Structures are given as C-alpha cells and as structure tokens.
Amino acid sequence: MLQASGIHKNYEQLAILKGVDLYVAPSEIISIVGSSGAGKTTLLQILGTLDQPSSGSLHIENKDPFALSEKERSFFRNQRLGFIFQFHQLLPEFSALENVALPAMIGGKNQTDAFKEAQVLLERLNVAHRASHRPNELSGGEQQRMAVARALINKPALVFADEPSGNLDTENATALHQLFFELRSEFKQSFVIVTHNEGFAQMADRCLRMKDGQFI
C-alpha cells in the first residue's frame, strides 16, 4: 500500500526527519505518537504528498508520487488519499453537504452525483440532518464527522489524520476513534493517524513512536 524509505527533511541547517522508514499494509490502522516537535506532522505531510522530502523515496500503490507532475500529483492525491485535520478545515461559506461533495467535484464528478454520494456518507455518519447547515452552526463533533465524510468521498485507499480528536471532548473523541475502526471494516481503507491520545494510539494495529525525527 505505502512504502517510505530513508525519508529525510531538512529546513536549512535543521534536520526535522532523519531517515524514516515506514510500511503501511492494506486496511491497516497505524498510530504515530511523540512529543511536539518530534516530526510527526512533517512526516504526515510528506506521506500525503503535500510536501516533498529532502531525500528518500515514497511509493503509494506502487507509484512514486514525486515522479509525477504537480498536476498529476494533485489528481492522484484527490483520488487516492484522504485527509482529516484537527481543526476540520471546512469552508465556512459552504454548507456541510457542499463541503463534503467538493473533493468529488474537483475530481470531475458532476454536482448531482457528488451531492448524492455526499448525502450517503452523511447518513452513514449520522449527520445527514445537518447537511444544509454551515460549519459555524455545527458542534465540534459534527464538524469532525463532516471532515471525515469529506476525506472519504472519493473512496481513497489511504486516509491521513493529524490529531483528529485533539479538539473534541472525551465523548466525541471516543466516538470518532470507534468510527475509524468501523470505516476500516466497511471500506477496507488504511489509516495513518497522528495522535496525542494514548488510549486511541494503543487501539491501532501498530503504534509507532517518534522522537527527534526518527521512530524509536
């Protein structure tokens, strides 16, 4: 599914990642933990092709995304990868339904089909009754479920999540964590999740710890 080898990332003289190796199997849930500044988010951005490594290689579904043109890589990211962020990143001027459907329309799907698929996901995530609401009218838990639906709309093979429950109360965080395992069983996706939640981290198939830009 994903193979990263010898990933280094430097910012001028500062080494953020120091030769990271990672394999993610199909339908595997991996958690990554570590203190702030350990390199977790930088690694996630590179694995998600949002940033390029200073050196090292990355293959996703036997494809080197950094060998693609920027346009090709953007399309690959849209079609095969999903992203969930701590602060949702929902567009405030659009409804929940429009936010969820947007990646599908960017990928070339017509609006009618995109809205239908978005509605199905919102029903699956028990937030369909909030489809017409804008993000500022939703609770934190509802916003995060919208963000999960948006990440899943194009049926990605791999979903990256950066502190997805970091802004949620205990009840909503627990529900979100459980949801990831349900979705894995249902859709067979792989998840790579950066988290400070030790309980959730230990539930993953593998829990990896980062320190000073390396797994330990």
Lowest mean pLDDT among 30-34, 78-82, 86-90, 185-189: 86-90
Q: What is the pLDDT of residues 142-163, one digit of tens each?
A: 898 899 899 989 999 999 999 8
* Average pLDDT of the segment spanning 16-34: 95
Q: What is the pLDDT of residues 101-146, one digit of tens each?
A: 999 999 999 999 999 999 999 998 889 999 999 999 998 888 988 9
Q: What is the fold of 2-215?
A: Rossmann fold (3.40.50)
- The pLDDT score that the predictor gives to residue 151 is 92
Adjacency order of strands within the sheet including 14-24 = 14-24, 2-11, 55-60
Other CB atoms within 10 Å distance of the CB of residue 56 = 18
Residue 89 CA neighbour count, 13 Å, CB half: 16
- 174's CB contacts (< 8 A; 6+ apart) are none
Q: What is the pLDDT of residues 39-85, one digit of tens each?
A: 999 999 999 999 999 999 999 999 999 999 999 999 999 999 999 88
> Can you list the alpha helix ranges (DSSP code H) found in the chain?
40-47, 70-80, 96-106, 111-124, 140-152, 170-187, 198-203
DSSP code, position 168: S
Give the Cα separation of 114 and 56 in Å (integer).
Answer: 37
